[in-house]
Structure 1
């Protein structure tokens, strides 16, 4: 199957040349903003004072989404530098901020959003886990758009394949390959959203939806990496099958399982009461 070779630049107007990949980030953050606002309204209900709470939390969200965008960019870039190509960037430190040359890590972006989100919410006296749960159930939408951006760029393509839908990517030689970006868009995006979004108002202990996202994403990414060509500067880490993405995702899944157990213990065995305390 021929790769469609979509121009990564949407249009050119003099020096202004917006790219599809950047648009995917904007769409992902916009979707997260709208879906979190919907959760705020749903959770506020119609009780007295609900509108005041909706306005206050909406104002908090306006600042939070900007902080999360910064966390995605800074964390994603630093994660790529540290996890995927430390030797090169140690020798060329001026290249570290050059994100326009490519190189972002989801796992680094996640750590960036968690760190900056925690700082912002703590500064405003808001419960971190309540907001983390709201963001976690919307995150797959951003992941879906991000993988579409990878596909449009013709990057992060799959391993050689003989399936009927295999594609010859411009940067992958003349060998037909799995369109692994689309596999990951389905697994990390559509499947995870179908799993998590219906659970958004479940009265679980605060933090458990975040834990489920971490564990489920880790499993989905490990599966997707089975079809993805490993980064050339790293290759396989072990046995011709283990990749850096799988190692980081296994750690993420383990963290999710541990967080699930810890948040349950913090709730004293009563997930409903913990949720009520954290969303007051």
Structure 2
């Protein structure tokens, strides 16, 4: 049976080391995501009144929000019992563990701070950043695949993979599903959607709706965390955390277009009185 499926090779998570400093695949993927986001942001800078220095500050604090929020979110959402037993576990980042939903909270906090500092609207900042995020998400999922972690549920599909440390049964390469949907598909949707003028908040809302929907679907193929499992043998922790994103994103989009409609109606009335 194993001969008919791809057996994932043992890949050293460290690409190379220089003394005490090591470059890991996952770190490289984060770097690729950050550099790509910075380059794409520079292409869109003309749409704003920000300087290059302000843009650099925004991306730096956003990246920091991803790291801190991702780690804190992982510990509190997925490893809280471990944290209660050993509070220092929060700082043991070398053991691995990052949460997208925690990272999102971290980014939102960083963007709120940037918006306040630059007297920009928070939703406006969110609309600018949203199309840049899927690049990093996609790169991160490639890192998960190379690290042979966060694998999928067992399956017999022809493209199934046998991962090391995941037993002898073939599994969905759910990391690549996430790369395709959360990375490539979401980037294309947001980039095309934002290429035309949209009401403030609509692009950010589309990101929340798109990611939440894709993540909810992929969770059906992704192996649940062993120490958490499924609630009622049906829904995962990731799906529970994604539902507010779907609902919130949809509400923001509806609100944004309602606000635009109200402004247009006001302008029409004003012209009629004139």
1:250 to 235, 243, 252: 243
C-alpha deviation, 1:254, in angstroms:
0.6
1:213-257 C-alpha deviation (Å, 9 max, x unpaired)? 10011110011111100011101112x231001111111111101
Per the alignment, in what secondary structure is the counterpart of residue 151 of structure 1?
helix
Structure 1 gap segments, 5+ residues each: 45-52, 274-280
C-alpha deviation, 1:80, in angstroms:
0.9
Structure 2: distance between partners of 1:269 and 1:192: 29
Per the alignment, in what secondary structure is the counterpart of residue 237 of structure 1?
coil
Contact in 2 for aligned 1:205/1:270 (Cα 8 Å): no
1:194 to 188, 192, 204: 188
Alignment-derived partner of residue 269 in structure 1: 262
C-alpha deviation, 1:268, in angstroms:
5.1
Corresponding pairs, count: 260
C-alpha deviation, 1:187, in angstroms:
0.8
1:186-215 C-alpha deviation (Å, 9 max, x unpaired)? 011111111111122321111110001100
Contact in 1 for aligned 2:62/2:110 (Cα 8 Å): yes
* 2:20 equivalent to 1:15: yes
1:156 to 140, 146, 150: 150
* 2:216 equivalent to 1:211: no
Contact in 1 for aligned 2:160/2:171 (Cα 8 Å): yes
Alignment-derived partner of residue 130 in structure 1: 124
* 2:95 equivalent to 1:90: no
Structure 2: distance between partners of 1:30 and 1:200: 20
1:235 to 211, 229, 238: 229
1:169 to 163, 174, 177: 163
Normalised TM-score (structure 2) = 0.90
Alignment-derived partner of residue 278 in structure 1: none
Per the alignment, in what secondary structure is the counterpart of residue 137 of structure 1?
helix
1:80 to 71, 74, 85: 74
Structure 1: distance between partners of 2:262 and 2:93: 45
Matched ranges for 1:30-179 at <5 A: 30-41=35-46, 43=47, 53=49, 56-179=50-173
1:27-52 C-alpha deviation (Å, 9 max, x unpaired)? 111111111111123x36xxxxxxxx
Per the alignment, in what secondary structure is the counterpart of residue 51 of structure 2?
helix
RMSD: 1.7
Structure 2: distance between partners of 1:269 and 1:29: 38
Normalised TM-score (structure 1) = 0.88
Structure 1: distance between partners of 2:37 and 2:113: 19
